Amino acid sequence: MAFIVQKYGGTSVGNPERIRNVARRVADSKKEGHKIVVVVSAMSGVTDGLIKLAREVNPDATAREMDVLLATGEQQTIALTALALHGIGVPAVSLTGAQAGIVTDKMHTKAKIANITPRKVHEHLDAGQVVVVAGFQGQNPDGSITTLGRGGSDLTAIAMAAALKADLCEIYTDVDGVYTADPRIVPHAKKIQELSYDEMLELASLGAKVMQARSVEFAKKFKVKFVVRSSFNHNPGTIITEEHSDMEDVVIRGVSLDKNQAKVTIIGVPDKPGVAAGLFGALAEAGTNVDMIVQNVSLEGTTDMTFTIARDDLRTAKKVIEAQVAAIGAKSYTAKDGISKLSVVGIGMRSHTGVAATLFAALAGAGINIQVVTTSEIKISVIVNEDEGPRATQVVHDAFKLGA
């Protein structure tokens, strides 16, 4: 017998038939002798619909009331899932986040989990019931309802698994797992059997579509083993777990492509202490996350500095950059979207040589220009033109022989 937390996302509970399908899957797991806690999201489209509704009533809706409203999405699904389980003779009970003992901080709409006291969950489990917990929500110490940020049901599931000391957390979604590349770009991409937490985090553009990054970080911190798999078939999925030595045998685990990128170059930056601190300090204050940073050698006392940010942040960042260019006495700046970041990821990189050479040769062979390069211990990223991103992904994926 294993203790399993199963999380079903919005598409997996998207209509009554799918909710009944979830109930059958839960019933099967229970029949196999496992102890089951189910975490569900709102039915697909419901959260977006509620946000739209609130805006129509008041475009400046307060965060506290948004949380009261948004939490109703998951509250519908827990009741419906429990009812579906009753319908096939499985004893089940629904619990809101607060009832399940999830306490958060006070940051409405993006609250962090502070602690979980799952006393009620244990009571119901001990009584032989399946416990269906609302994802994405908790309550703050004042007793107000909070939500955990978009995609937050993943976090509920991982955190519940940690608090309950479950053996496994199963994240059910509408894809079969994490692939060596986006299968829409590389049709012969393969499903990855096993990944380390760090690889999952670095494969952001592949991973983020199936799972919220914050919940992967949480899983890493509390060593929660989880599997990402589809609720529409019985394929085994991708296991994400602690690193072990066999994992390094594979040089590259996958290739990800992130289109949400913009590149900024500041030209004629005076080469003296404090300049970078001022510029990046101002960007951080404006809430802009800077990703890659490259500084050239200086010629005649000035240098050029290039960095990348999320494309969505470019508009706000531009105002900060313009002010900083003036403040630090730089000559000018250029800002460019229409670029993509391609990354090859794998912990095997630490013990294998020639990864960068293979990557660069593949891109060169395809006539694709590299604009910026950065490396970390388990990742090499390059910036290429957006329109060359898909082809770059294909040639790199082939060069590392990742396909089926």
| Tokens standing for residue 232 | 């529409």
> Which of ligand ASP, Mg ion, none lies near 261, with the C-beta cut-off 5 to 8 A by kind?
none
Min CB(259)–ligand ASP separation in Å: 21
Among 152, 177, 237, 254, binds ligand ASP (CB under 6 A): 152
Which residue of the chain is nearest ligand ASP when measured via CB? 153
Q: Does 218 bind ligand ASP (CB under 6 A)?
A: no
| Tokens standing for residue 167 | 């053996």
> Which of Mg ion, ligand ASP, none lies near 346, with the C-beta cut-off 5 to 8 A by kind?
none
> Which of ligand ASP, Mg ion, none lies near 150, with the C-beta cut-off 5 to 8 A by kind?
ligand ASP
**Pairing status of strand 168-173 against strand 3-8:** parallel
Q: What are phi and psi of 192, to 5 degrees?
A: -85, 135
Closer CB to ligand ASP, residue 67 or residue 202?
Answer: 67
SS in 3 state form for 213-238?
HHHHHHHHHHCCCEEEEECCCCCCCE
Site string for ligand ASP, 47-86 (x = CB under 6 A): x-------------------------x-------------
Min CB(132)–ligand ASP separation in Å: 15
Q: Does 41 bind ligand ASP (CB under 6 A)?
A: yes
> Which of Mg ion, ligand ASP, none lies near 122, with the C-beta cut-off 5 to 8 A by kind?
none
Closer CB to ligand ASP, residue 41 or residue 308?
Answer: 41
Closer CB to ligand ASP, residue 192 or residue 211?
Answer: 211
Distance (Å, whole) CA 69 – CA 50 = 7
# residues contacting ligand ASP (CB under 6 A) = 11
Distance (Å, whole) CA 312 – CA 348 = 33
Closer CB to ligand ASP, residue 47 or residue 256?
Answer: 47
In DSSP notation, 339-377 reads EEEEEEE-GGGGT---HHHHHHHHHHHTTPPP-EEEEET
Q: In what order do the strands lie in the sheet with 302-309?
A: 290-295, 302-309, 254-270, 332-345, 379-385, 372-376
Distance (Å, whole) CA 216 – CA 218 = 5
Distance (Å, whole) CA 371 – CA 55 = 41
Which parts of this chain interact with Mg ion (CB under 5 A)?
A: 9-10, 41
> Which of ligand ASP, Mg ion, none lies near 400, with the C-beta cut-off 5 to 8 A by kind?
none
Q: Does 137 bind ligand ASP (CB under 6 A)?
A: no
Chain-centroid distance of CA 378 in Å reads: 18
Closer CB to Mg ion, residue 52 or residue 244?
Answer: 52
Q: Does 42 bind ligand ASP (CB under 6 A)?
A: yes
- Count the alpha carbons within 13 Å of 367 in the hemisphere toward its beta carbon: 1
Min CB(44)–ligand ASP separation in Å: 8
Q: Does 151 bind ligand ASP (CB under 6 A)?
A: yes
Chain-centroid distance of CA 123 in Å reads: 32
Choose one: 41-49, 94-102, 242-250, 296-304; the region binding ligand ASP (CB under 6 A). 41-49
Environment class of 4 (CB within 10 Å of its CB; exposed 0-12, middle 13-18, buried 19+): buried
Distance (Å, whole) CA 257 – CA 275 = 31
Q: Does 150 bind ligand ASP (CB under 6 A)?
A: yes
Q: Does 177 bind ligand ASP (CB under 6 A)?
A: no
Contact positions vs ligand ASP (CB under 6 A): 10, 41-42, 47, 73, 135-136, 150-153
